[in-house]
Amino acid sequence: MDEAILKFPPNFLWGVAVSSHQVEGNNTNNDWHAWEQDGKALHQQVAGSGPDFYNKYKEDFQIAHDMELGAFRLSIEWSRVEPEKGKWDKEAWAHYRRMLEDAQRKGLKIFLTLHHFTNPLWLVDEGGWLNKGVVERFVDYTHKAVKEVGDLVDVWMTINEPLVYASQSYLVGVWPPQHRSFWEARRVAKNMAKAHKKAYTVIHRSLDKKDKRVMVGFAKSVNTYQIYNKYSFKDQLLSLGADWVWNRWFYRLTRGFNDYLGLNYYFHFRIARARFSNWQFFVDIRKEKRDTSDVGWEIYPPGIFDIVMSMAHYGLPIYITENGLAAEKDNKRSRFIVSYIKELYHAIEAGAPVKGYFHWSLLDNWEWEKGYEARFGLVAFDPITKKRTLKESAHVYQTIAGANGITHPLLKFVGHVTLGEITVKEK
């Protein structure tokens, strides 16, 4: 194997991420399944059996192991383990325990997410995250998770992207329950912050030992913002305001209750001119012919450098807990991986305390309101046979993980690069 010329720190964690409803298949007792069955999803698709990760986890963990990865992020499906309020499914917990034991045997550190967008139907009937009682329900769930699988978890992630959930479900209204209320979205976010803090306390009190303290945090979707007119005070104010509300407000709500920052980075927004009169702020990047994913998200590698550097001031270890590309053409994903990880390398060299990177996702999966057409995976699967097929991008990522950095041949994916005295030109 070629040696990395952009070498990451020793013990840097390379991993992949999945979430229960998106890959397990046949989750039939949560709000998303009910929503899909009602035909309310924009794409009119249902998750169905999907990649069937719930039964094929051994094969998928083996793939991750063979790719020389050191970590795997996955979630527990709350509606499986507590299908009725206060009634725990012993076999479902036992199954998750077998899953985590298998991952551990294969040398994978486990980053476990407790809530990744889906809710049990009984919780929805109580008002879901709008009801303040959800906090204690989540605490009960956390207590049970600690008891059943706590000894197998390396890093805890209480909630995935709380502001994404609050905005998509209660402000924009494209996810269940499809409400459109600023005040409801705010209440949901605050309840999630309270739930995180209480869960954080439960996990530490239950699992901390004299010689070892567990790591607890959450996954936060973060955006970068670019203004075209740097001398416009109004545009600067908009950029700073958006950054504070989206990237920092939830950290303020949970201050003192995070052992690390889990950053999910996908979005870069451009501000040509702040038009407060008609609430038009962001540039339509299609008009500028920007490079985008298949779902229209701008590909902007410097953004991951910018967001990491701006979040480093919190003084906490940083994990990139999601970063990936929806693309049918896999060579585009290979370029994406190398270019973003190269920027992450520069951030570390600039002093950012980044400890790991998780690519989203291991598998092509069901992408919420976008269905199966948004292909984020390093690995494809046959919808009938469930056969896994590694893409070129999986081998590119394996090379990076195995070398703990970017090797000289991989620089072809980013064209012309100058690295000190080394210059590489794509042939």
Q: Is the pTM of this model over 0.85?
A: yes
Find, among 66, 68, 65, the residue nearest to 104 by Cα.
65
Domain of 178 in residue numbering reads as 4-220+317-424
228 inside domain:
no
pLDDT value of position 369:
85
Distance CA 79, CA 125 (A): 13
Give a yes or no: residue 84 inside a domain: yes
Residues with Cβ < 8 Å from 21, sequence gap 6 or more?
Answer: 27, 30, 32, 33, 47, 77, 116, 117, 118, 366
The confidence score (pLDDT) of residue 426 equals 41
Which structure tokens are listed for 410?
Answer: 């991989």
122 part of a folded domain: yes
**Residue-level pLDDT at 281:** 79
**Is 103 within a domain?**
yes
CATH assignment of the domain containing 145 = 3.20.20.80
In which residue ranges of the chain is pLDDT below 50? 419-427
* Pick from 246, 123, 224, 256: nearest CA to 177: 123
Alpha carbon of residue 414 to chain centroid: 24
Residue 212, in any domain of the structure: yes
For residue 422, the model assigns a pLDDT of: 45
324 burial type by CB count under 10 A (0-12 exposed, 13-18 middle, 19+ buried): buried
pLDDT of residue 337: 98
Number of separate domains in the chain: 1
| 186 assigned to some structural domain | yes
Residue 271 lies in a domain: no
Model pLDDT, residue 275: 72
Q: Is residue 308 part of a domain?
A: no
